[in-house]
Amino acid sequence: MRELAGRTAFVTGGASGIGLALGRAFAQAGMKVMLADIEPDALAAALETLREFGPDVRGVRCDVAAAASVEGAARAAFDAFGNVHVVCNNAGVAAAGGIDDISVDNWRWVLDGNLMGVVHGLRSFLPHIGGHGEGGNFVNTASMAGLNSGLGFSPYTASKFAVVGISEALATQLKPFGIGVTVLCPGFVRTRIGESGRNRPERYGPARTPDPASPAGALVAEIARLVQAGLDPSEVAARVLTAICENELYVFTHPEMRDGVEARFAAILAAMDQAAGR
């Protein structure tokens, strides 16, 4: 998709962090924007920061974990702006915990949002974008945690590996139809991801904070420090806009994290060589 101006973007997790930065960047590029988020007050505050763009930027409450909620938000975007061209399946959460204290509720909460949220976004918009024939692009937010398990055994790692996998597969399948797919794999970005529990639905039970003295607590503190020192979300958004225009599959914002990916692939290829030798 080479031209963004005049087109429409739909962004989940649009009330904060990377999603809000994407919304601003799209609006600045002359697009109409629908921000979707589970947190109504934060969404209203986010829209206030984009007031200069007038009625071309709107918001809708949406829980990406629920298929019907995403379908409703998609309908709100069609009603407001007509055809939608760019869909950013970006909403996501991170749960604290480690191998000893990760709960089933945490697994469900993270996978329902980070993985099923992407699936619901794809299901709600694929027939629409395929049908209107004006081209389009899906942007799925994964993470470097989707390429390297360095963050440890966690639903977050599982969800992000899955998002990388389905994005790669979808890119191949949608190419003949002129629909692009981009998978966003950032390292640490200065957002509120470390406070994900702020809008955790009651159905997943209360968020548990690990003992700061435990290994899981130490990992949470270290990640919070890295997020605080992370990249500005506007830099991530700028990279995504370029990727959409250039039809790029992968967006990496932290090339310094290459070593972890190389080490993983080297181990996989070494095991392949070993298999070939047997």
Ligand X SMILES: NC(=O)c1ccc[n+]([C@@H]2O[C@H](COP(=O)([O-])OP(=O)(O)OC[C@H]3O[C@@H](n4cnc5c(N)ncnc54)[C@H](O)[C@@H]3O)[C@@H](O)[C@H]2O)c1
The residues that touch ligand X, with contacts defined as CB under 6 A, are 12-13, 15-19, 37-39, 42, 62-65, 90-93, 113-114, 117, 141, 143, 186, 188-189, 191-193, 196, 199, 227, 230
Active-site residue flag, 156: yes
Q: How far is the CB of 57 from ligand X (least distance, A)?
A: 15
- 8-state DSSP, 96: -
> Which is nearer to ligand X, 65 or 84 (by Cβ)?
65
How far apart CA 216 and CA 166 sit, in angstroms, is: 29
Min dist CB 138 to ligand X, Å, is: 14
The Cα–Cα gap between 95 and 219 comes to 12
Q: CA 48 to CA 54: how far, in whole Å? A: 10
CB of residue 192 to ligand X, shortest distance in Å: 4
Beta strands (DSSP E) in 109-229 are: 136-141, 179-185
**Nearest CB to ligand X, comparing residues 117 and 180:** 117
Closest CA to 20 of 3, 39, 5: 39
- Least distance from ligand X to the Cβ atom of residue 130, Å: 24
18: which 2 tokens? 């990377």
Which is the catalytic residue, given 156, 188, 204, 252?
156
Q: Select 19 or 180, whichever has its Cβ closest to ligand X.
A: 19
Q: Which residues pair with 60 in a beta bridge?
A: 36
CB closer to ligand X out of 17 and 155: 17
Burial per residue of 251-273, b for 16 or more beta-carbon CB atoms within 10 angstroms, e otherwise: bbbeeebeeeeeeeeeeeeeeee
**Cα distances (angstroms) measured from residue 80 to each of 35, 52, 188, 226, 276:** 12, 18, 34, 39, 57
Task: Report, as residue numbers or ranges, the catalytic residues.
Answer: 156
